[in-house]
Structure 1
């Protein structure tokens, strides 16, 4: 259990709450807690599995506050910023984590101070992993081995001095894990991706402002929700208040791939979902609903991303599609 305090207000007390009542996405099987104060409201959900624990927290300060988190147990894991940016003091060491960035550390105890600005909404995910999960990772090299050797010691260690961008794969996988925390395979994959990214992190990114990061995340949301529509690079750049060159570079810097490839990725995922839920639908209609326009556009894009023919994928997953259909019909009958 951790304690949370505010520099000038003292201890911040939490009370249990229904996780479905919190202003954040519900995590199945989680315990939820809430703290309501005259200087801000704070919420978190906690879910424990055999080899990892996840906390999803939301901070809503009404004024500038400094929160201190203390926990007298060893920490091995990472923090990922989902919304806004937070300046931290981790055991007295300053670390600024921007939206979409992550930081992985080992520490013999938790002592972190968070500097929050008033009238902002912050969302963050913390994932603590067991040493046994960490040692499952398919990772080698001096940096990894030096960090692994520090686990269990009385000194803190970081995989990288600076936070790294989490990329679209880590963000999407984390969203999937939060929807079903029992997916141990995805949990290991996330930790593998986080560690690998941080080891490769050279800190040579182009300078990017808080506003630009937030606008780039809004473009990501636009693509996720409006993928069937026709969209252009110029439109995205205008919406993010950047020129096209800056937008292209910084979207790739934050998410690890160009914006057009992310649009294709979303459309392919939508096509797969449609084929699973409606296996009798003509592929030309699947293409239209996903924004590809024609069957040939869908076929070429599918092969380019999945390295398999569209028809073969559909046939291979036909059994799964009918199983989903049966489950849907049964749920409607109950």
Structure 2
């Protein structure tokens, strides 16, 4: 029942970072949709002699349909961060190649030339949609390689053309470096906020969840349609222990109990908290009653076997505990909040003398 929890993923920040970029992807998708749409709608205003590909039906389907469909798909929550990034990069590549092909056809057929800055601007959209830097760099280099390859092999070489190509490369390098600093700064801010949040939800003495975290976690557990069990453990005569052995020994005792609970409870559905001075709580979500009693007994016997740092071999510590079950709402009462069951069989309490502190 007390299973080992899955360790947090090492790329937790990156997943959050990429996921936060969905809004940026949506904004860029709208802008690029408008830019491509404007190319079709206002072609006669933009060009005196536009290339035929600008308004051909296959061109519309590729540049205006497929690319934007992929971009929009990358914004939805069902797309995990990895696929969201891949879809957006693919959509940008489609537009970059499509725009460069239009540019090459226009040059070779004598039509107005689409400026190279347009596909470069589409490629630069990758810089602001929260793509991991280790993916962003090769993605940008590959995209620029496509632009340079089509420009060098499909467009007649000229001094101004080569200058425009080199200038475009320089334009990409500077924001690419800035993207690295942005990611690092975002990571520092994220880690700082996470640390502050952890501190605000952690008991400083024992390292367990504090009362604020307990209230939030148990409220979330009770909101689920599953049974919840709560055990409250209280160190008996803790004031006597403090008076006899000193507050330092009392604090050491609480720390030892906290470390034991932290190491023993590794199931993500089970958590422990320190409610007040010598009062602890353990909450099970979605566990059967027999399993809860078994776990509670395991915790009780484990605490009884601890070497509690009281400083005196003849000092003993007793702990009382009670377990109560919260039933989920019934099907005919969907709006009712869970509440403790009142029958005697639904409430179990036990007391046990723990091992002497040594």
User: TM-score if structure 1 supplies the norm length?
Assistant: 0.23
- Which has more radius of gyration? 2
* Higher helix proportion: 2
* Higher strand proportion: 1
